[in-house]
Amino acid sequence: MRLPPFTYNRPQDLDEALELLNAYGKDCKILAGGTDLLVRMKQGLVAPMNLISLKALSELAEIRETATDLKIGSAAKLSDILAYQPVQARWPGLFESIKAIGAPSIQHFSGTIGGNLCQDNRCQFYNQSRSFRRARQTCNKAGGSTCFAWKGGSDKCHSVCQSDTAPILIAMGAKVVIKSRQETRTIPLEELYSSIGEHPLTLGDNEMLTEILVPVRAPGDGSAFEKLAYRSSIDYAVVSAGAYVRTERDQILGARLIIGAVARGPLAIAAVEKTLQNTRVGDLHAIDEAAMDAMNAAEAFIANNMTQPVEYRTKMVSVMAKRALIRATQRAVSQTGVSEAK
């Protein structure tokens, strides 16, 4: 598989990158680690005329803490975030989600957090070779007018958001900074996702993600990430869950649960907040109910977009949700992070 021809641009600072992005608009793609984009280019899914590399932009690779946030530059490598000592203890859910990404030897050392959040949606009928795709009608995601992943067809694309960091970062209340040559805006991470399979991000053609802001860990809170994959050493999630729980003494004050790899964007399970609020820590009946909330909500979205059966993935939502909620609660109470042994 060969890459299609393109012009490689290597801006030396952020202003130059934003200038290029503004000039090229639709005719370009940002290249961070390239572990998602270059594969899609080789498969002929995208063919941008220009690539704008973030490799020389050291300002986008910084990781630092302030009084309110962990600030991660969008081009920070996944391996650098894992190596940043406080993450394991204070943002354990984030640590776990990065650990779970792809093949560590490639994704962690080349892949970036911005690329992970901005990767395109996937589908078993779309992320295929040219010859596979040629044998079928063109699907919605490729510009056609049908969806093979939805029973009976659909005029919408039912591809799935596979970012492993998005569910837990949303659960923890992360925000993202988005820049264009004209303006800077900061939005809750969930607003980055459009829930439209064909165009899953709300970014404009002249915009890029520059920073991720993750709130500092408060006393009594905890986070956890769970992922089910066939091969833990390389695979995308079959189902994932990011949980954030706030406690005081033996009570749960609030909880957020986001399910990944089941819908066109990360799926927030709104009912969980109400189900768990003011319940006792360790009340497994309440956790079971919250896990069922997740399964019932996810059921409406799961399409045949992966090789695993829809029924299996639907059931696994409650399992992943339960595990993530239990571990986040334990961490909230004990104020621990990810143990070295895990």
Contacts of 71 (CB under 8 A, 6+ apart): 62, 63, 64, 65, 211, 212, 213
Does 305 help bind ligand FAD (rule: CB under 6 A)? no
Among 18, 21, 24, 35, binds ligand FAD (CB under 6 A): 35
Distance CA(66)–CA(27), nearest Å, equals 37
Contacts of 62 (CB under 8 A, 6+ apart): 71, 72, 73, 76
Among 63, 87, 95, 112, binds ligand FAD (CB under 6 A): 112
Shortest reach from residue 32's CB to ligand FAD, in Å: 3
Shortest reach from residue 244's CB to ligand FAD, in Å: 19
Which among 26, 75, 61, 41 is positioned nearest to 204, based on CA atoms?
26
Does 320 help bind ligand FAD (rule: CB under 6 A)? no
x/- binding map, residues 50-79, to ligand FAD, per CB under 6 A?
Answer: ------------------------x---x-
User: DSSP class of residue 120?
Assistant: P
Distance CA(252)–CA(255), nearest Å, equals 7
Among 121, 140, 162, 275, binds ligand FAD (CB under 6 A): 162
Q: Which helix (H) or strand (E) holds 16?
A: helix 14-24
Does 119 help bind ligand FAD (rule: CB under 6 A)? yes
- Binding piece for ligand FAD, criterion CB under 6 A, among 31-39, 64-72, 142-150, 308-316: 31-39
Site for ligand FAD, residues 234 to 293, rule: CB under 6 A:
234, 236
Phi/psi at 4 (nearest 5 deg)? Answer: -70, 160
Contact positions vs ligand FAD (CB under 6 A)? 29-37, 39, 74, 78, 101-103, 107, 110-112, 114-116, 118-120, 162-164, 203, 208-209, 234, 236
